[in-house]
Structure 1
Amino acid sequence: MSVRILALVGSLRSGSHNRQLAEAAVKLAPEGTEVEIFDGLADIPFYNEDIDVEGSVPAAAARLREATAGADALILFTPEYNGTIPAVLKNAIDWLSRPYGSGALSGKPVAVVGTAFGQYGGVWAQDETRKAVGIAGGKVLEDVKLAIPGSMTRFAETHPADDAEVAAQLTEVVARLAGGGTETAAA
Structure 2
Amino acid sequence: MTQTTIAVLVGSLRRESINRKLATALARLAPSDVIFTQLEIGDLPLYDQDDDANQADSVKRLKSELLAATGVLFVTPEYNRSVPGVLKNAIDHASRPYGKSAFAKKPAGIIGASPGAIGTALGQQHLRNITAYLDMPTLNQPEAFVQAKDDLFDADGNIGEGSRKFLQGWVDAYVAWVKKHAA
TM-score range, shorter chain: 0.7 to 0.9
Q: Distance in 2 between matches of 1:73 and 1:160?
A: 24
Matched position secondary structure for 2:144:
strand
Where do 4+ consecutive residues of structure 1 move more than 6 Å?
A: none
| CA-to-aligned-CA distance 1:54-112 (integer Å, 9 cap, x gap) | xx211111111011000000110111111111001111111222232341100100010
RMSD, aligned CA: 2.1
1:10 aligns with 2:14: no
Q: How many residues align?
A: 179
Structure 2 portions without partners, runs of 5+: none
Change (3 A) 1:52 1:152: farther
Q: Is the 8 A contact 1:97 1:104 kept in 2?
A: yes
1:169 aligns with 2:169: no
Matched position secondary structure for 1:60:
helix
1:35 aligns with 2:32: no
Change (3 A) 1:144 1:101: farther
Q: Is the 8 A contact 1:84 1:124 kept in 2?
A: yes
Q: Is the 8 A contact 1:111 1:144 kept in 2?
A: no
Change (3 A) 1:156 1:129: same
Structure 1 portions without partners, runs of 5+: none
Q: Using the TM superposition, name which of 133-142 and 58-67 deviates more.
A: 133-142
Task: Give the match for residue 94 of structure 2.
Answer: 96
Q: Is the 8 A contact 1:144 1:181 kept in 2?
A: no
* Normalised TM-score (structure 1): 0.86
| CA-to-aligned-CA distance 1:138-169 (integer Å, 9 cap, x gap) | 222222421112x2544487566241243333
Matched position secondary structure for 2:31:
coil
1:127 aligns with 2:125: yes
